[in-house]
Amino acid sequence: MNEPLMDKDIVSKINYAKEKNPNTMVHIVSNGSLLNKKLSIDLINSKLDYIEFSVLANRKESYRKIMHLDFNRTIKGILNFIKIARMQNKGNDYININITRTPSLLPTEEKDGMINFWREAGIKNINYFDMPISRAGNVSFLPKVKHNSVKGCESIWANEMMHILYNGDVILCCMDWKREVVLGNIKKESIYQIWNGERYNQIRKMRDGKIESPPSFICKRCEATKI
């Protein structure tokens, strides 16, 4: 959860995860703003299977409005990462670019320019989402959604990813910015115990519409909910 490159020990943690789980795909999703040459080399030489960069604009002004970060620095860092990865003979699946468009902040012509820009940079895997995500109502300037019932989750990660915060808390998913649904803590229980525990199974049943959920249930405010 959160920006992985803020963690000074991210490379050692990647290597540790892969060593302990050699058959598991290890990847990170980053906005790329903290990349520098040394970090890029260290990541590429690590046991990381692939990396995704979320780039939400293609112009300095739009990027600043959305991300409040330095556009030129971010793009330079990602392009340099791509260059180093090619020199290390990393395949086409090693780098993905994620684009999530918020129509009120990103014009259609800029979106088209973004896709072309990354294609010209040699990126084959570009994931484009033309629907803003309010993070279950946590992004204040986006329209809020409200469902009376839920019948599951559209997210590909719903049944195969555990979301662990810096303090060990396990939450339902990346939409839960305010820790509304804490399922356990890996400092107190094992991953296996939490994943298969009564609390997690009950929440799964609520998410899938198999049992009743309260009106305030986080999935009832989420764009990824099946209705």
Report the distance separating Cα 95 and Cα 9, nearest Å: 21
Local confidence band at 151 (pLDDT 50, 70, 90 cut-offs): very high
Please indicate, yes or no, whether residues 111 and 145 belong to a single structural domain of this protein: no
Helix or strand (DSSP H, E) at 30? strand 27-30
* C-alpha–C-alpha distance, residues 171 and 174, integer Å: 8
DSSP annotation string for 147-190: -S----B--TTTTT--EE-TTSEEES-TT-TT--SEEEETTTS-
Residue 28 banded pLDDT, cuts 50, 70, 90:
very high
Claim to verify: residue 157 and residue 116 sit in the same structural domain: no
Spatial separation of the C-alpha atoms in residues 137 and 132, rounded to whole Å: 11
Residues 60 and 37 grouped into a single domain? yes
pLDDT over threshold 90, residue 205? yes
Q: Is the same domain home to 155 and 99? A: no
**Among 116, 97, 98, 114, which Cα is nearest to 106's?**
114
What per-residue confidence (pLDDT) applies to 93? 94
Per the structure, how many domains does the chain have?
A: 2
User: Contact 31/54 with Cβ under 8 angstroms?
Assistant: yes
Range of the domain at 175: 134-227
Same domain, 17 and 124: yes
- What's the farthest any 2 CA atoms get from each other in the chain? 54
> Does 183 lie in the same domain as 119?
no
Q: Which of the four pLDDT bands, split at 50, 70 and 90, describes residue 155?
A: confident
What percent of the chain is modeled with pLDDT above 90? 72
Find the mean pLDDT for residues 1-28: 94
Q: How confident is the model at residue 39 (pLDDT cuts 50, 70, 90)?
A: very high
* CATH assignment of the domain containing 67: 3.20.20.70
86-116 confidence digits (pLDDT tens): 999 999 999 999 988 777 777 777 878 889 9
Residues, the chain, total? 227
Q: Are residues 124 and 143 in the same domain?
A: no
For residues 139 and 63, state if they share a domain: no
- Are residues 139 and 83 part of one domain? no
pLDDT grade, residue 1 (50/70/90)?
Answer: low
Report if pTM > 0.75.
yes
CA distances in angstroms from 53 to 20, 63, 200, 218, 220, listed in the order given? 25, 14, 30, 27, 28
